[in-house]
Structure 1
């Protein structure tokens, strides 16, 4: 273990071990072997990071920096991210098992998120109010909300970081970024780029560690003003409870059981590709995975044949190799959860059309699986498994399809496949989800808001409005009267 790469915490512009010297080993999901170690934050480290973030808000180097200058730092960070995309992608792939073809590409694209928010930095404006008192000049300004606790999971972490860090820095906030302790290597390496970009010490700290010593002290810290969390609903409940200690403004981007509706007039090739992208893309380890495929009964069998034909060409293998389509799952626990869920579904009458078992090779591999469900209550239609498992359920009418799509406590992503434009508008409007893709799936852009409804969370990341979520509105009243206040005991 002594020869493994080691990653330290980045706090207040300096690298350090954790205060209690705790070190954890990260396993490579493709081999099941430890490949790196990393320092874990203790409560004292959290306090240091938050104290630095609070201090820098009053430091002229950051407090008085113009919005245009903040934007230039973000442009510099974007260039560095693009320049190091391959290296960061390799680290993420080795640490989490996600395909290098996706991690490197996504990291390169993430640079555009920083450029987008760099451009927005000096576009945040106040308003002069047409006040109903002629001797008053009243205007609003938007100020940084303060110290931000940004918490990201191990999957799509460069993307999920950009959607938080970009608008927060553009708005003039300071950020304590908490990386997942499951696969933190790329985020700790990313901290080097923040340092190189020239942000003043304390503006961004990057830490990792377990819930008790890191996440809980951070989310309940008295000096945290804003929490931006991405993760599971159960953890989110703890985050919301913790925020009661500091009344931090909180946004949640959680998981889902996103429906993909395929109507009888859909292009079968396009629908099959959309379902494969939504279920087997990223090895199914995506919060927007379209794991509830709702298919018109008349085309169910032809669509399954089409999917089966395409799935037979899927290459399961080393995620660092460019010709691999599906890599390992991040943890062995995910494989066990999928096995148990599939067993329950079969007991409910579900039929496994292909796959259904772990791959016979070292590492956390699960074969791509298609489950034909008999009833809406099938376990695979209810549980977020975070693996390459597609479940299909037939419907008869448009109304039934919409009802099935909305029969979930979640509401993050959704998809509709139809060649009828009127139906596309009609159905997408009625699906209760924050995102609806029509005749495509799993597309993102810095320009498009990202977020969900119900137990998939609240708040939006990306888009113009995202930067406003990291500001507070101040109203300033200036009296232009020539005479003093007439009566100090009467409200004006």
Structure 2
């Protein structure tokens, strides 16, 4: 097994693959974003307010570790206030009673404002997350705008059905909003996750309490201010910044929340599911981690396969729940693939994400950085060969580095002989995960 990685944590770049002369220049002269951080409080019932406790926490620039701003730290009392506002907006307010056409118009106006403020939103996203500015400005924020236009188009097209029935009966279905939706988003794609959570819920007439990731709270607050500017009534969307064990747990277990949606780690997803079940048995939508395979057969165009596999893993600093982090390569083309994958990884441009031409910025924070390093060390200790072109050790796909989600720019390259071998490995790993889940949660 071979693995490649490209890792960066400014200002102390110690390991990885990339053009580190670029990164070094970024350390000496970091670009200062021009956007002002105007929104750092909680957004409850249409107003920016301090946390009930008065506490704040720092949100950091991943490039330097410097504090960007102090953000209000919401906890149980703030979740209670936000849920109360959302419940009132749903039960008494205009949003679910408003015509679907009018909801659509508000979402379309919001999309126009997102487009107008594209550069400011992209700057906040890069500053708070570390992703390349070009990626945020040219791809992600335009996708957010497009997503809200898409869901705006659905708002007045959600229809029930008249169902044929035997006998003198009339059978009709009616689609109605669920109520108050609790939503918890991660730090890897803050604005896109915001859009994927809010868009469909708002189009259907629900009200929302959204908890941002503690690492990346800024863009959601900025965007929701624009949403109110577009005409959203107070209380329909409430934003609480805070931590999982306090604000997140309070939201997942709240008796007045009708649905919970979470994107994040599998371990946290299990906790969310338990809290939802123990409270009011609310339905939960969980989008959790993965260890996706990327399979290269012996008849593939190796150059194209290398580029596709590289993108599948290294995109967004490897911080992707669907990253193709296990690259299976047929033995006939394995050596060629490894050499070309190594060359491509070495050419990867790593540096200050605000500089042009940068492919990869820093990892989100020091905790994630150290986690990735631990996985890399465990791979070496288990017998994997680190990208140095030395002795290549191939064994069954049972190393931690090949089984567990690293959530970083680490590409495992494993050799296989035929497709049945790959399928067997995938089945074994899947069964191991299911068995582990069963043992952890079995009932006595």
TMscore range, shorter length: 0.7 to 0.9
Contact 1:373/1:392 (<8 A) preserved: no
Q: 1:373 offset after TM fit, Å?
A: 5.0
Matched, 1:78 2:111: yes
1:113 aligns with one of 147, 153, 166:
147
Whole-Å separation in 2 of the counterparts to 1:25 and 1:295: 44
User: Given the superposition, is the C-alpha separation of residues 11 and 4 from structure 1 closer, same or farther in structure 2, using an over 3 Å criterion?
Assistant: closer
* Superposed CA offset, 1:275-305 (max 9, x none): 1111211111111111100000111111112
User: Given the superposition, is the C-alpha separation of residues 60 and 24 from structure 1 closer, same or farther in structure 2, using an over 3 Å criterion?
Assistant: closer
Range that drifts further, 288-297 or 67-76: 67-76
Contact 1:78/1:111 (<8 A) preserved: yes
2:330 aligns with one of 272, 285, 296:
296
Structure 2 counterparts to residues 393-472 of structure 1, below 5 A: 393-409=414-430
Whole-Å separation in 2 of the counterparts to 1:130 and 1:72: 34
Q: 1:98 offset after TM fit, Å?
A: 1.4
Structure 2 counterpart of 1:340: 374
Contact 2:210/2:237 (<8 A) preserved: yes
Structure 1 counterpart of 2:178: 145
Contact 2:396/2:425 (<8 A) preserved: no
Q: Taking CA–CA contacts closer than 8 Å with sequence separation of 6 or more, which of the two structures ends up with the larger relative contact order?
A: 2
Q: 1:375 offset after TM fit, Å?
A: 3.2
Structure 2 counterpart of 1:189: 222
RMSD: 2.2
1:169 aligns with one of 202, 208, 211:
202
Whole-Å separation in 1 of the counterparts to 2:325 and 2:428: 14
Question: What SS is found at the alignment partner of 2:239?
Answer: strand
Range that drifts further, 400-409 or 380-389: 400-409
Q: Structure 2, unaligned stretches of length 5 or more?
A: 1-35, 438-444
Contact 2:39/2:222 (<8 A) preserved: no
1:61 aligns with one of 73, 94, 117:
94
Structure with the higher fraction of residues in helix conformation: 2
Contact 2:96/2:206 (<8 A) preserved: no
Q: How many residues align?
A: 396
2:157 aligns with one of 99, 105, 123:
123
Q: 1:343 offset after TM fit, Å?
A: 1.8
Q: 1:133 offset after TM fit, Å?
A: 4.3
Structure 1 counterpart of 2:276: 243
Contact 1:117/1:167 (<8 A) preserved: yes
User: Given the superposition, is the C-alpha separation of residues 407 and 290 from structure 1 closer, same or farther in structure 2, using an over 3 Å criterion?
Assistant: farther
Normalised TM-score (structure 2): 0.85
Structure 1 counterpart of 2:356: 322
User: Given the superposition, is the C-alpha separation of residues 221 and 83 from structure 1 closer, same or farther in structure 2, using an over 3 Å criterion?
Assistant: same
Q: 1:184 offset after TM fit, Å?
A: 0.9
Structure 2 counterpart of 1:97: 130
* Superposed CA offset, 1:149-189 (max 9, x none): 01100111211121121110111000111101122111111
User: Given the superposition, is the C-alpha separation of residues 16 and 67 from structure 1 closer, same or farther in structure 2, using an over 3 Å criterion?
Assistant: same
Q: 1:410 offset after TM fit, Å?
A: 9.5
* Superposed CA offset, 1:261-284 (max 9, x none): 000111112111111111211111
Q: 1:336 offset after TM fit, Å?
A: 1.5
Structure 1 counterpart of 2:26: none
User: Given the superposition, is the C-alpha separation of residues 410 and 73 from structure 1 closer, same or farther in structure 2, using an over 3 Å criterion?
Assistant: farther
Q: Structure 1, unaligned stretches of length 5 or more?
A: 356-370, 412-453, 456-492
